[in-house]
Amino acid sequence: MRDVGAPALMSFRDLTRRKSRPVPEAFGPPLRSNKRLKEILGRHYFLSRYVPGAKKVAWVTSGAPVELLRAFDFYTIYPENHSALVGAKKNGAEYCSIAESDGFSQDLCSYARIDLGHMLSGKSPAGKLPRPDLLFCSNNICQTVIYWYKTIAHELNIPLIHFDAPFVSTKQSEADVRYMAQQLLDMIPILEQVSGNVFYLNDFETILSRSQETSQTWGTILQTMRAKPAPMTIFDAFGHLAPIVSLRGLPVAHDYYNILLEELEERVALGIGAITEERYRLIWDNIAVWYKVRFLATFFAERKMNFVTATYTNAWAETTCHLDVKDPWSSMAKTYGQIILNNNLKHRMGLMRDMIKNFEVDGMVMHSTRSCKPYSVGQFDLRRALGAELNLPAVIIDADIADERVWSEQQIQTRLEAFCETLEDAAHV
């Protein structure tokens, strides 16, 4: 099924799809790797329909140490990725409404509401998601995931493993590292019982090493955007982020990013830019507005503005340096405990300052999303501090990651137009 059946059925399905929309003139040639990315993600969701009975299934949060699950051969599904897919197809409001009709508040994260709406209705643009045998979450991205996954665990009567990552208010302590490392070790007997597989340290170390190499390659991919013109936009990166999130630790992600890196380096050498004329370089803060990615990409490209870096895409490369196969448990604790959303505002400001300087950024767009309060908190302080220190024009737009009902077209258009004018005026001073 994986090697013959899935590709054949997916090719037949592609024949029935409508043709893609033409690329606006403001953009350069599309990446060849886009086709391979669609194949990988399409196959991942397609094969998931046939997993029950062959492998155990785990639903996982994006910040959880998934490498440990790989050692037990779990087939992993990421509800956040699935919710982003629903949002990108502009069906977020429909799924959210299903959850809201069942009593869940509209103030909850739209990723959670979409996933709960999917669970209650069985609807999915991916066809069908397999029923999980295990839930695996970590509060290093937010506290919502704990209650979200508890709800699913209660509804489906399945086990939930929670990786507790203490917030880094000043500096990660050795006590915190030991606490997290011990949690990982304590999970092994439970994972053996649920999966029916025995844990082998050598296999785990191979997976961890592959995951580290994949994350490092992803970081190198993001670094190619320091070139002028940048070979891709951050909106491209939002899409190409999917394998590092949902397929991290697997050979398919490792191989794919080497292919993508080779193409981007080729574009840099040939001077091929993501947009036809790059005059201004921008930084994006927070998660993508999935249902408006095309609109935002086109809006800025037509004004000769390219997003070349983002705190969101950087999150899966930032802490990779801590991984060490020789010390897997402590190094995983450091890697997953220090990610941007589990770290203090001073750390985030320093990180953004470095990104702005290294990528020679001219302006900043911050997405204040209703769904992700941990990511949005402090943005006004960050805008004020970085704007004053670096003389950087900045704008904050109020929207949501996947619930299109929150988008106010006129208000956001007005803010962005004003920001673009400010940026152009600053360039002429």
pTM for this prediction: 0.94
Element (H or E) spanning 94, and its range? helix 92-101
Measure CA 229 to chain center: 24
Q: Which two tokens stand for residue 41?
A: 């993600």
pLDDT reported for residue 375: 95
Does the CA dihedral 340-240-372-133 come out positive or negative?
negative
- For the chain, residues with pLDDT lower than 70 are 1-21, 428-429
State the DSSP string of 337-370.
Answer: HSSGGGB-HHHHHHHHHHHHHHTT--EEEEEEES
- Contact status, residue 420 vs residue 395, Cβ threshold 8 Å: no
DSSP state of 24: P
Distances (CA, A) of 169 to 233, 249, 333, 347, 391: 33, 29, 16, 9, 28
State the DSSP string of 231-253.
Answer: SS-HHHHHHHTHHHHHSTTSHHH
Cis? peptide before 166, omega within 30° of 0: no
pLDDT reported for residue 23: 75
pLDDT reported for residue 302: 97
Residue matched to tokens 């082998």: 200
pLDDT tens digit sequence for 243-256: 999 999 999 999 99
Widest distance between CA atoms in the chain: 67
Q: Which two tokens stand for residue 257?
A: 């990013």
pLDDT reported for residue 426: 80
Query: In whole angstroms, how large is the CA radius of gyration of the chain?
Result: 21
Between CA 214 and CA 249 the distance in angstroms is: 8
pLDDT reported for residue 12: 35
